[in-house]
Amino acid sequence: MFLLIKFTLLYAVVLMLVALGGMFSERSGVINIALEGIMAIGGLAGVFVLALGGNLPAAVLVPVSILASAVAGIVYSLLLGFSAITLKADQTIGGTALNMLATAVAIVMVKAFNNASEAGNGAASAKLVYSNEAFIYKIGPFTINIFLIIGIVILIVSYLFLFKTKWGLRLRSCGEHPQAADSVGINVYQWRYIGVMISGALGGIGGFAYIVPSVTTWNFEVGVAGAGFLALAVMIFGQWKPFNIAGAAVFFAVFRSLANIADSTVLSNLGLSKNIYSMMPFIASMIILAFTSKNSRAPKAEGIPYDKGQR
Amino acid sequence: MENEYIIEMLNITKEFPGIRANDNITLQLRKGEIHALLGENGAGKSTLMSILFGLYQPTSGTIKKNGKEVHINTPNDANDLNIGMVHQHFKLVECFSVLDNIILGVEPTKGLFLEKEGARTKVLELSEKYGLKVEPDALISDITVGMQQRTEILKMLYRDNEVLIFDEPTAVLTPQEIEELMKIMKNLAREGKSILFITHKLNEIMEVADRCTILRKGKYIGTVNIAETTKEELSKMMVGRDVSFSVDKKPAEPKETVLKISHMTVPSKAHDNNAVKDVSFNVRAGEIVCIAGIDGNGQTEFVQGLTGLEKISGGTVSFLGQDITKASIREKSKMGMSHIPEDRHKHGLVLDYTLEQNMVLQRYWQPEFQQGGFIRSKAVREYASKLIEQYDVRSGQGTATIVRSMSGGNQQKAIIAREIDKNPELLVAVQPTRGLDVGAIEYIHSQLVAQRDKGKAVLLVSLELDEVMDVSDRILVMYEGEIVAQLNPKEITVEELGLYMAGAKRDKVPEEV
Amino acid sequence: MSEKTKDVLLSIVASLLCIVIGLLVGLIILYCINAENALDGFTRIIKGGFYLKPKGIGSEIAQSAPLIMTGLSVAFAFRTGLFNIGAAGQYTVGVFGALYFALILHMPWYVCLLAAMVCGAIWGAVPGIFKAYFNVNEVITSIMFNWIGLYLVNELMYSTVKGMYDQKTTRTYKISSVSPGSLIPDCGMNAVFKTSSTTIAIFIAIALAVLMYVILNKTTFGYELKACGFNKDAAKYAGINDRRNIVLSMMISGALAGVGAGLYYLSGGAEWNPQVATALPAIGFNGIPVALLAMSNPLGVVFAAVFVAHISVGGAYLPTKYFQPEIADLIVAVIIYLCAFVALFKGVVAGVLGRKKAGKGDAK
The domain segmentation of chain A, as residue ranges, is 12-228
Judgement on whether residues B188 and B311 belong to the same structural domain of the protein? no
Distance (Å) from the alpha carbon of B348 to chain C's nearest alpha carbon: 6
Domain count, chain C: 1
A216 pLDDT above the threshold of 90: no
CB B304 within 8 A of CB C231: no
For residue B234, the cross-strand partners are none
For the CA atoms of B368, B374, B377, B379, the dihedral, rounded to the nearest 10 degrees, stands at -20
Query: What span, in angstroms and rounded, lies between the C-alpha atoms of C139 and C82?
Result: 8
Pick from C226, C360, C363: which is nearest to B57 by CB?
C363
Helix runs in chain A, H state only: 2-27, 35-52, 58-81, 91-117, 146-164, 166-176, 178-183, 188-211, 227-237, 242-261, 274-292
Sheet strand arrangement including B288-292: B337-340, B426-430, B457-462, B288-292, B474-479, B482-487
Q: Do A282 and C337 touch (CB under 8 A)?
A: no
Query: What span, in angstroms and rounded, lies between the C-alpha atoms of C307 and C324?
Result: 19
Task: Work out the average pLDDT over B484-490.
Answer: 91
Pick from C144, C320, C344: which is nearest to A122 by CB?
C320
Short-list A67, A237, A53, A69, CA closest to A131:
A53
Query: What span, in angstroms and rounded, lies between the C-alpha atoms of B191 and B63?
Result: 24
Does residue C38 belong to the interface with chain A, where contact is any CB pair within 8 Å? no
Per-residue three-class SS string for B116-160: CHHHHHHHHHHHHHHCCCCCCCCEHHHCCHHHHHHHHHHHHHHCC
Chains that touch B (3 or more CB pairs under 8 A): A, C
Residue C15 lies in a domain: no
Task: Work out the average pLDDT over B139-150.
Answer: 87
Cβ pairs bridging B and C (under 8 Å): 66
Does residue A108 belong to the interface with chain C, where contact is any CB pair within 8 Å? yes
Q: Do A170 and B112 touch (CB under 8 A)?
A: no
Structural domain containing residue C124: 35-322
Q: Do A290 and C326 touch (CB under 8 A)?
A: no
Judgement on whether residues B115 and B199 belong to the same structural domain of the protein? yes
Q: What is the CATH number of the domain that holds B112?
A: 3.40.50.300
B380 pLDDT above the threshold of 90: yes
Residue C199 lies in a domain: yes
Domain count, chain B: 3
Query: What span, in angstroms and rounded, lies between the C-alpha atoms of B272 and B269?
Result: 8
Distance (Å) from the alpha carbon of C139 to chain B's nearest alpha carbon: 22
Which chain C residues are Cβ-neighbours of B353 within 8 angstroms? Answer: 226-227, 230
One-character DSSP codes across C143-207? HHHHHHHHHHHHHIIIIISTTSEETTTTEEPPHHHH-GGGSPP-TTHHHHHT-SS--THHHHHHH
A268 pLDDT above the threshold of 60: no
Q: What is the CATH number of the domain that holds C70?
A: 1.10.3470
One-character DSSP codes across B318-377? EETTEE-TT--HHHHHHHTEEEE-S-IIIII--TTSBHHHHHTTTTTTSTTTEETTEE-H
Give the pLDDT score at A270: 59
Give the pLDDT score at B88: 79
Give the pLDDT score at B100: 95
Distance (Å) from the alpha carbon of C189 to chain A's nearest alpha carbon: 31
B168 pLDDT above the threshold of 90: no
Candidates C8, C80, C223, C233: best to mutate against B (most CBs of B within 10 A) is: C223
Does residue B245 belong to the interface with chain C, where contact is any CB pair within 8 Å? no
Tell me the pairing of strands A217-219 and C171-172: unpaired
Residue of C nearest to B348 (CA): C234
Residue B341 lies in a domain: no
Q: Do C231 and B57 touch (CB under 8 A)?
A: no
Q: At what angle do helices C87-99 and C109-134 cross, to 10 degrees?
A: 140
Give the pLDDT score at A68: 96
What's the pLDDT band for B508 if we cut at 50, 70, 90?
confident
Strands (E), chain C: 165-166, 171-172
Task: Work out the average pLDDT over B153-178.
Answer: 86
* Cα A227 versus chain centre, distance: 7
Burial class (CB in 10 A: 0-12, 13-18, 19+), C269: buried
CB A176 within 8 A of CB A302: no
pTM here is 0.84
Query: What span, in angstroms and rounded, lies between the C-alpha atoms of C126 and C135?
Result: 12
Judgement on whether residues B470 and B400 belong to the same structural domain of the protein? no
Task: Work out the average pLDDT over B208-228.
Answer: 92
Does residue C359 belong to the interface with chain B, where contact is any CB pair within 8 Å? no
Residue B369: CB partners within 8 Å, gap ≥ 6?
B360, B363, B375, B376, B379, B380, B383
Q: Do C227 and B350 touch (CB under 8 A)?
A: yes
Q: Do C236 and B329 touch (CB under 8 A)?
A: yes
B93 pLDDT above the threshold of 50: yes
Give the pLDDT score at A267: 55
Query: What span, in angstroms and rounded, lies between the C-alpha atoms of C358 and C351?
Result: 5
CA distances from residue A202 to A22, A142, A228 in whole angstroms, order as listed = 8, 25, 11
Judgement on whether residues B213 and B98 belong to the same structural domain of the protein? yes
Residue of C nearest to A283 (CA): C148
Judgement on whether residues B460 and B493 belong to the same structural domain of the protein? yes
CB C179 within 8 A of CB C99: no
User: What's the pLDDT tens digit per position in B259-274?
Assistant: 999 999 999 876 777 8
Q: Count Cβ atoms below 10 Å from residue B493 Cβ, excluding itself.
A: 9
Give the pLDDT score at C356: 39
CB C56 within 8 A of CB C195: no
What's the pLDDT band for A271 if we cut at 50, 70, 90?
low
Query: What span, in angstroms and rounded, lies between the C-alpha atoms of B417 and A192?
Result: 44
Query: What span, in angstroms and rounded, lies between the C-alpha atoms of B249 and B194?
Result: 43
Give the end of a domain, one of B217, B239, B261. Answer: B239
Q: Which residue has the higher pLDDT, B249 or C65?
A: C65
Q: Which residue has the higher pLDDT, A262 or A219?
A: A219
Residue of B nearest to C228 (CA): B350
Element (H, E) at B384: helix B377-390
Cβ pairs bridging A and B (under 8 Å): 66
Give the end of a domain, one of B206, B239, B272. Answer: B239
Which chain C residues are Cβ-neighbours of B397 within 8 angstroms? Answer: 3
Judgement on whether residues B138 and B204 belong to the same structural domain of the protein? yes
Give the pLDDT score at C241: 92
Judgement on whether residues B176 and B34 belong to the same structural domain of the protein? yes
For residue B222, the cross-strand partners are B214
Does residue C244 belong to the interface with chain B, where contact is any CB pair within 8 Å? no
* Cα C263 versus chain centre, distance: 12
Q: Decide: helix, strand or coil at residue B105.
A: coil
Q: Do A180 and B104 touch (CB under 8 A)?
A: yes
Give the pLDDT score at B511: 56
Query: What span, in angstroms and rounded, lies between the C-alpha atoms of A233 and C262?
Result: 31
User: What's the pLDDT tens digit per position in B332-357?
Assistant: 999 999 999 988 888 999 998 999 99
Amino acid occupying residue A230:
L
Does residue C332 belong to the interface with chain A, where contact is any CB pair within 8 Å? yes
Pick from C2, C231, C361: which is nearest to B17 by CB?
C361
Residue C348 lies in a domain: no
Structural domain containing residue B19: 5-239
Distance (Å) from the alpha carbon of B163 to chain A's nearest alpha carbon: 15
Does residue A93 belong to the interface with chain C, where contact is any CB pair within 8 Å? yes
Give the pLDDT score at B246: 64
Does residue C130 belong to the interface with chain A, where contact is any CB pair within 8 Å? yes
Residue C313: CB partners within 8 Å, gap ≥ 6?
C48, C49, C56, C59, C60, C63
How would you write the pLDDT of chain C (364 residues) with one tens digit per residue? 566 677 778 888 888 888 898 899 889 988 888 888 888 888 888 888 788 778 888 888 999 999 999 999 999 999 998 989 899 999 999 999 999 999 999 999 999 999 999 999 999 999 999 998 888 888 888 988 998 999 899 989 888 888 888 888 888 888 888 888 888 888 888 888 888 888 899 999 999 999 999 999 999 999 999 999 889 899 999 999 989 999 999 999 999 999 999 999 999 878 888 776 567 788 888 898 899 888 889 999 999 999 999 988 888 888 877 788 888 888 888 888 887 777 677 767 666 665 433 333 333 3
Short-list C350, C291, C293, CA closest to C6:
C350
Query: What span, in angstroms and rounded, lies between the C-alpha atoms of C234 and C228?
Result: 8
Short-list C351, C136, B77, CA closest to A236:
C136
Residue A93: CB partners within 8 Å, gap ≥ 6?
C83, C288, C292, C336, C339, C340
Give the pLDDT score at A229: 85
With left for phi above 0 and alpha for psi between -120 and 50, is residue B114 left, alpha or beta?
Answer: beta
With left for phi above 0 and alpha for psi between -120 and 50, is residue B314 left, alpha or beta?
Answer: beta
Residue of C nearest to B341 (CA): C237
Give the pLDDT score at C358: 34
User: What's the pLDDT tens digit per position in B72-86?
Assistant: 988 888 988 999 999
Percent of chain B's residues with pLDDT above 70: 96
Distance (Å) from the alpha carbon of C225 to chain A's nearest alpha carbon: 21
B329 pLDDT above the threshold of 70: yes
B70 pLDDT above the threshold of 90: yes
With left for phi above 0 and alpha for psi between -120 and 50, is residue A27 left, alpha or beta?
Answer: alpha
HSE toward the beta carbon, residue C70, CA cutoff 13 A: 32
Amino acid occupying residue C345:
F
Q: Do B93 and A176 touch (CB under 8 A)?
A: yes
CB A181 within 8 A of CB B107: no
Task: Work out the average pLDDT over A3-20.
Answer: 89
Pick from A165, A177, A182: which is nearest to B75 by CB?
A182
Residue of C nearest to B339 (CA): C237
Q: Do A100 and C143 touch (CB under 8 A)?
A: no
Pick from A90, A283, A290: which is nearest to C130 by CB?
A290
CB A108 within 8 A of CB A126: no
Does residue A272 belong to the interface with chain C, where contact is any CB pair within 8 Å? no
Q: Decide: helix, strand or coil at residue B223.
A: strand
Give the pLDDT score at C359: 38
Element (H, E) at C330: helix C327-339
Q: Which residue has the higher pLDDT, A265 or B197?
A: B197
User: What's the pLDDT tens digit per position in A100-120?
Assistant: 899 889 988 888 888 777 655
Residue A187: CB partners within 8 Å, gap ≥ 6?
none
B155 pLDDT above the threshold of 90: yes
Short-list C290, C295, C287, C289, CA closest to C343:
C295
Give the pLDDT score at C355: 44
Using an 8 Å CB-CB cutoff, list residues of chain B that contact chain A.
50, 55, 74-76, 79, 85, 87, 91-96, 100-101, 103-107, 109, 112-114, 155
Task: Work out the average pLDDT over A276-285.
Answer: 82
Q: At what angle do helices C3-33 and C327-339 cross, to 10 degrees?
A: 140
Query: What span, in angstroms and rounded, lies between the C-alpha atoms of A224 and A210?
Result: 8
Query: What span, in angstroms and rounded, lies between the C-alpha atoms of C283 and C62?
Result: 12
A72 pLDDT above the threshold of 90: yes
